[in-house]
Amino acid sequence: MVYRPLLIAFGVLVLAPLLGGLLTGFDRWLSARLQARVGPPLWQPFADLVKLWHKDRLTVNVVQILYANAYLLFVAAALAELALGHDLLMLLFTLAFGTISLVLGGFSVRSPYSRFGAQREIMQLLAYEPILVLMVVAIYLRTGSFLVSRVVVFPRPLLPSLPLIFLGYLLVVVIKLRKSPFDLATSLHHPHQELVKGILTDYSGPYLGIIELAHWYELVLLLGLAGLFWATSVWAAAGVALLVYLAAITVDNVSARVTWAWMLRFAWQAGLGLAAINVVWLYLWGAGMP
Amino acid sequence: MVILLLVAIPLAAGLFTLIGGAWTRYVAVGGAVLSLLSGAALVLAHGRLALDAATLLGGFRPGPLFGILDALLLAYIGLTGWRLRHLLLTLLALVQLAGILYLEGVPRPEAGRFVVDGLSAVMVLVVSVVGSLVALFSLPYMREYERHAQGTAGPRRFFAVLLAFLGLMNGLVLADDLHWVYFFWEATTLASFLLISHPQSGDAVPNAAYALTVNSLGGVAFVGALVLLAGRGEASLEQLAATPPAPGILVPLGLLLFAAFIKAAQFPFQRWLTAAMVAPTPVSALLHSSTMVKAAVYLVLRLAPAFRGTPLALAAAVYGAFSFFAGSATAIGQANGKKVLAYSTIANLGLIIACAGVGTTGALAAAILLVLFHAATKALLFLCVGTIEHGIGTRNIEEMEGVMWKMPVTTVLTVLAMLAMVVPPFGMLIGKWLAIESSVRTPLVLAFVVFGSAFTLVFWSKWIGRILTVSYHRKFRWERLPVLLRLPKLLLLLAVFSGSIGVAPLYNRLVRPVIVDQFDARGFVRTGGGGLTTGFGDFLPWPIFLVILGVLLLLLVMVGRLEPEDARPPYLCGENADQKPGTSFHTARDEVEIAETGNFYLESVFGEGMVRQWADPLALAILLLMVGFLR
Amino acid sequence: MSIVRWARGKSPWYFHYETGSCNGCAIEVFALQTPLYDLERFGIMNTGNPKHADLLLVTGCVGYRSGRVLRNLYHQMPGPKAVVAIGVCALTGGIFHDCYNLAPGADKVIPVDVYVPGCAPWPEAMIDGILLAAEKLRGAPVARDRRRLVEEEEPPAGGAGEEGKA
């Protein structure tokens, strides 16, 4: 029984890239269809990853590699924490460590493009981190626990009592997945891109592949967190997660990029505002919620 | 024995350095370090101890002695104010002197003893260990400092005050008699003044006088509390803390808290601490981050049981959380490295005060963990920044680029210490985690803490990013530094790391006794699985340490495969020039220029003046609200 | 290692550098992204950054300054990589062939693998050229010391490559 958590963690960490890759492929296919294009096949992200992995290892400095690895492993660790049912707050901190690694990777080279990307990534962190913490607090107020293992056995779905938090979380997902209108630090799989490639400008070959893999983990993690909002059944959770993903893809395809200041203002006014109202509800009428 | 080792010998060592040359300093520091460390070990080995001073001194009651010392101290402060034409300072000293003389005149109870319990053991550990390491660091550092600086007050006075300060600080956390606490309190303030004014030039003396003036305001509040408490027959800190809230007791408590807020440099009094950054780095590391300002939160934590559950507690919690928020916000706008550290210190002290105000067992545990880890981490950071400043001649963050190449070891240490401030699995984050989970039921506190934490991420990652910028180098050459400049840092880092990995034993050994002392219960925080669990949350540091290990192993494998010809300059639109590869590029006029990028500081939002515009009035408003709660 | 070869052939990301011309070819390159031609159905993506790219698309006549940039960009691309020269200006200098300030063709500056003639070439021709270059990527050695192998095989600047048919 001691090995059970290890087995779970191992299984999730092996399966998550498969799922994440397929979802990314789906995203690119769907986006293409929305733009009246044929689009790439579903397995396209896997071809990209294998190709990147077998390119020359060019680097600007040695610490870059450190940060790419740290980003991957910390995001994966956060996912493992989710799978093992640990503390949500600790999960957020671990995820933040991953993001900070990425930021430091952007800072570590003397290219203005990565530097600006890194600065904007920090602003993104500033924009969504309070919303995420408030979400965790709201989940605690509702279920009485920060532990994922307790939250998933809570007898009633969370979405009816946390509707505004859910909207705030949607905003976080759009920012975190680097979808338009918030693809300002870097953008993924868009022919149009900001600041050359922003924070990823000076990664290449296998190191870019590592970051790509980390994005897949991050995608699965974010959708997993979305699933917590209706964790009473696996199918409902998967449905909510899929809805969140579809919403993010739709927003991506119908909006244009905004500036970081606009993002910060919007995230704090709209996202935080909604989350705060929901938290106040919970303080006032926490017990009597549906 | 404990008192001798922890208080008397450091004081004597301080006096000894006044005798003469460099060798006395080495002997005195060595002796004081040995005595402090053995004293701390003794305190840890013992459980609770109550030491009656009269029996220690063979029947002599030292009460009147402290009155005389107080009077001398205040007279010196008053004269200093006169000499510096700081009449407000003189006035404040005179008011305190009048209070003390009044107290000597009226019959008053005396506790007359030192008490070693969980909380003072924690503080003794911090003071003795961090203090020893900083004192050792100062020996080579100050030699270098004196060589560059002109017209300082001289190393003799510096070391005398530094060592004496350690003794005084230990006295402060061990004394049970409020009157004695006051003496040590004022004495550490004076020590701070003498050490800040050490450079004797530029802003040093005015800034030191400013710090002394602001702190004297706190001293006046302290004397006021003493007078009120003498009237009620209270003299023992321990009894005062144990008394259930009674009508009228809140006023002296509020005054004591006010004194503590000033000493902890909370908003709106924060400027004395940032002004104090003109002092040599060891002073900032010791007095203004890890020990003297911690005396303030020590007092708040000590008194926490007395005001727990009263509106005063809520107000203190909100006030501390607000300082955390405002301090972190101001730190974003600072390019001066030491100022960032100062604001981060203010913020963290605020967080500790907030925890004391929230007052559950979990919050108290968070506060103790924060005291321990903040002292070690921040002292380490100050020492590192001091070394960097000597190495490259600036404390401006923007100019620290490339320091990785010049002093790789120091840079790595600095970065590790900064990471230990913001990311899991290090101790500060364990404290912050516990603080957030404990303050969930106090929404206003929670809101400030959440935003403050986000700001914290911003300013640290900006700074780390700046100093870690490097071009490709095959090998880094380690810089040479004297052993005493390097060893204390390594030991502090080791303390932070081992404390974080072994947070479970640390909690059982140091934190739980405090909770048992204050609550007569074990609290809801438990240790299990190598981490902390609360029943509704858990924090396991060791798996994350394993992840860090994994990152380093992967790095080693990948770097091993690299070859020098794999290095490429950064992308500069293909206009890279050959001079200074990596940063230079051809402009549109075909001239070679260096690409430079600055950090965001958002001074129009987070500049010192901008934040003060709203933070000072708001903090003052919370303080005034607190006055309303005193009835 | 057929999976690596497969992946390389299915995911060539290109970086487009316009060395300075009438922009006719450049406009047609942009057209490749539009729904009508939709390069992404082959897994081909546009990146704005040589460090992420497998293919370098060159349009326009190569001046001596833009040649310097071209060389830098090529140097920053990780191998295996291929270059597609598009339009007569990039092939030979076109009507500017004898200008004093131009190199007569991109292959005088960097090794070119596929030549797509035309003024401007049809997008279909460009797609054909890009897919030819992708074939070339697929054929690159997979072994660990590939870099050394490539250096031996690599034609000197200005050497012959495969001819794209228009």
What confidence score (pLDDT) does residue B324 get? 92
Name the one residue in this structure whose structure tokens are 């000197």: C156
B582 — contact with chain C (CB < 8 Å)? no
Q: pLDDT confidence of C166, banded at 50, 70, 90? A: very low
Three-state secondary structure call for residue C62: strand
Does B530 score more than 70 pLDDT?
Answer: yes
| Residue in B closest to C73 by C-alpha | B574
Spell out which residues of chain B touch residue C70, defining contact as CB-CB under 8 Å.
574
Contact C156, C150 (CB under 8 A): no
Rounded to a whole number, what is the distance in Å from the CA of A149 to chain B's nearest CA? 10
* Optimal mutation site among A8, A56, A61, A82, interface B, most CBs of chain B within 10 A: A61
C-alpha B532 chain-centroid distance: 24
Q: List phi, psi (to 5°) of B51.
A: -115, 115
Say whether C41 and A37 touch across the interface (CB within 8 A).
yes
Written as six digits, the tokens of B132 are: 């020893």
Spell out which residues of chain C touch residue A116, defining contact as CB-CB under 8 Å.
none
Q: One-letter amino acid identity for A2?
A: V
pLDDT in tens, B147-202: 877 777 788 888 888 888 888 898 898 888 888 889 999 999 999 998 888 888 77
Residues 137-196 of chain A whose Cβ lies under 8 A from any Cβ of chain C: 189, 191, 193, 196
Give the span between the Cα atoms of B26 and B557, in whole angstroms: 45
**Omega into A45 within 30° of 0, i.e. cis?**
no
Of A208, A229, A217, A197, the C-alpha closest to A111 is: A197
Residues 30-89 of chain A whose Cβ lies under 8 A from any Cβ of chain C: 32, 35-41, 44, 46-51, 54-58
Give the span between the Cα atoms of C99 and C64, in whole angstroms: 11
Spell out which residues of chain C touch residue B573, defining contact as CB-CB under 8 Å.
69
Say whether C7 and A197 touch across the interface (CB within 8 A).
no
Assign residue A61 a region (left: φ > 0; alpha: ψ between -120 and 50; beta: otherwise).
Answer: beta
Chains A and B form CB pairs within 8 A to the count of 179
Give the span between the Cα atoms of A45 and A24, in whole angstroms: 7
Give the span between the Cα atoms of B539 and B164, in whole angstroms: 40
Question: What separation in angstroms does the CA of B22 have from each of B18, B28, B37, B140?
Answer: 10, 10, 23, 11
Say whether B440 and A137 touch across the interface (CB within 8 A).
yes
**Omega into C120 within 30° of 0, i.e. cis?**
yes
Give the span between the Cα atoms of B540 and A9, in whole angstroms: 15
Does C164 score more than 70 pLDDT?
Answer: no
Say whether C76 and B586 touch across the interface (CB within 8 A).
no
DSSP type of residue B126: I
What confidence score (pLDDT) does residue A20 get? 93
pLDDT in tens, C98-115: 888 888 888 888 899 999
Rounded to a whole number, what is the distance in Å from the CA of A204 to chain C's nearest CA? 5
Q: List phi, psi (to 5°) of B567.
A: -75, 135
Name the one residue in this structure whose structure tokens are 């070869």: C5
Say whether B558 and A97 touch across the interface (CB within 8 A).
no
Does B357 score more than 60 pLDDT?
Answer: yes
What confidence score (pLDDT) does residue C148 get? 52
Assign residue C53 a region (left: φ > 0; alpha: ψ between -120 and 50; beta: otherwise).
Answer: beta
Burial of B607 (0-12, 13-18, 19+ CB in 10 A): middle
Residues of chain A with pLDDT under 50: none
Measure CA of the first residue to CA of the last residue in chain C; give whole Å: 33
Number of neighbours of residue B472 by Cβ within 10 angstroms: 20
What confidence score (pLDDT) does residue B325 get? 92
Q: Which of A28, A51, A191 is nearest residue C8 as measured by Cβ atoms?
A: A51
Give the span between the Cα atoms of B168 and B76, in whole angstroms: 17
Own/partner pairs for B623-626, CB < 8 Å, 24+ apart? B623/B258, B623/B261, B623/B319, B625/B315, B626/B254, B626/B257, B626/B312, B626/B315, B626/B316, B626/B319
Say whether B571 and C17 touch across the interface (CB within 8 A).
no
Question: What separation in angstroms does the CA of B459 have from each of A133, A173, A174, B247, C156?
Answer: 19, 24, 24, 44, 50
Instruction: Give the lowest-confidence range in B525-534, B609-618, C64-73.
Output: B525-534
Spell out which residues of chain B touch residue C50, defining contact as CB-CB under 8 Å.
571, 574
| Residue in A closest to B423 by C-alpha | A97
B483-487, B538-542, B571-575, C82-86: range with highest mean pLDDT: C82-86
Written as six digits, the tokens of A56 are: 């020359």
Written as six digits, the tokens of A246 are: 């579809």
Written as six digits, the tokens of C20 are: 């300075």
Does C44 score more than 60 pLDDT?
Answer: yes
pLDDT in tens, B421-447: 888 888 888 888 888 888 888 888 888
Written as six digits, the tokens of B429 are: 């984050």
Give the span between the Cα atoms of C94 and C24, in whole angstroms: 13
Say whether B571 and C51 touch across the interface (CB within 8 A).
yes
Say whether A108 and B462 touch across the interface (CB within 8 A).
no
Q: Looking at chain C, how many residues does it have?
A: 166
| Residue in A closest to C141 by C-alpha | A54
Give the span between the Cα atoms of B373 and B376, in whole angstroms: 5
Q: List phi, psi (to 5°) of B595.
A: -80, 125
What confidence score (pLDDT) does residue C160 get? 38
Say whether A110 and B469 touch across the interface (CB within 8 A).
yes
Say whether C78 and A193 touch across the interface (CB within 8 A).
no
Of B26, B383, B4, the C-alpha closest to B167 is: B4
Spell out which residues of chain A touch residue C47, defining contact as CB-CB under 8 Å.
193, 197
DSSP type of residue B18: T
Chains B and C form CB pairs within 8 A to the count of 22
What confidence score (pLDDT) does residue C46 get? 87
Question: What separation in angstroms does the CA of A66 have from each of A74, B29, B359, C96?
Answer: 12, 41, 41, 48
Say whether A46 and C52 touch across the interface (CB within 8 A).
no
Does B94 score more than 60 pLDDT?
Answer: yes
Say whether A197 and C47 touch across the interface (CB within 8 A).
yes
Rounded to a whole number, what is the distance in Å from the CA of C29 to chain A's nearest CA? 12
Of A45, A37, A41, A43, the C-alpha closest to A253 is: A37
DSSP type of residue A231: T
DSSP string for B288-313: IIISHHHHHHHHHHHHHHHHTTSHHH
* Domains in chain C: boundaries: 2-163
DSSP type of residue B177: B
DSSP string for B225-284: HHHHHHHHT--BHHHHHHSPP-TTTHHHHHHHHHHHHHHTT-TTSTHHHHHGGGS-HHHH
Say whether B590 and C69 touch across the interface (CB within 8 A).
no
Assign residue C105 a region (left: φ > 0; alpha: ψ between -120 and 50; beta: otherwise).
Answer: left
Say whether C8 and A197 touch across the interface (CB within 8 A).
no
What confidence score (pLDDT) does residue C161 get? 39
Give the span between the Cα atoms of A131 and B454, in whole angstroms: 10
Q: One-letter amino acid identity for B189?
A: T
Q: Which of B433, B569, B582 is nearest residue A89 as measured by Cβ atoms?
A: B433
**Three-class SS string for B326-361?**
HHHHHHHCCCEHHHHHHHHHHHHHHHHHHHHHHCCH
Give the span between the Cα atoms of A133 and C114, in whole angstroms: 54
What confidence score (pLDDT) does residue A25 get? 92
* Optimal mutation site among B557, B565, B576, interface C, most CBs of chain C within 10 A: B576
Name the one residue in this structure whose structure tokens are 């921040």: B378
pLDDT in tens, B286-343: 888 888 899 999 999 988 888 888 888 888 899 999 999 999 999 988 888 888 999 9
Give the span between the Cα atoms of B413 and B288, in whole angstroms: 21
pLDDT in tens, B230-264: 887 777 888 888 877 677 788 888 889 899 999 98
What confidence score (pLDDT) does residue A289 get? 56
Rounded to a whole number, what is the distance in Å from the CA of B334 to chain A's nearest CA? 15
Helices and strands: H and E segment counts in chain C: 6, 8
C-alpha C88 chain-centroid distance: 14
Instruction: Please tell me which chains touch C, using 3 or more CB pairs under 8 Å as the contact test.
Output: A, B
**Three-class SS string for B565-597?**
HHECCCCCCCCECCCCCCCEEECCCCCEEECCC
Does B538 score more than 50 pLDDT?
Answer: yes
Q: Is the complex ipTM more than 0.90? A: no
Give the span between the Cα atoms of B391 and B404, in whole angstroms: 11
**Which CATH architecture fits C2-163?**
3-Layer(aba) Sandwich (3.40)
Give the span between the Cα atoms of B433 and B355, in whole angstroms: 12
Does B105 score more than 80 pLDDT?
Answer: no
Rounded to a whole number, what is the distance in Å from the CA of C19 to chain A's nearest CA? 18
Does B215 score more than 50 pLDDT?
Answer: yes
Does B387 score more than 90 pLDDT?
Answer: no
Helices and strands: H and E segment counts in chain B: 29, 7
Say whether C76 and A58 touch across the interface (CB within 8 A).
yes
What confidence score (pLDDT) does residue B72 get? 86
Name the one residue in this structure whose structure tokens are 């993010």: A248
Q: Which of C4, C33, C41 is nearest residue A39 as measured by Cβ atoms?
A: C41
Spell out which residues of chain C touch residue A51, defining contact as CB-CB under 8 Å.
4, 7-8, 10-11, 54
Does C151 score more than 70 pLDDT?
Answer: no
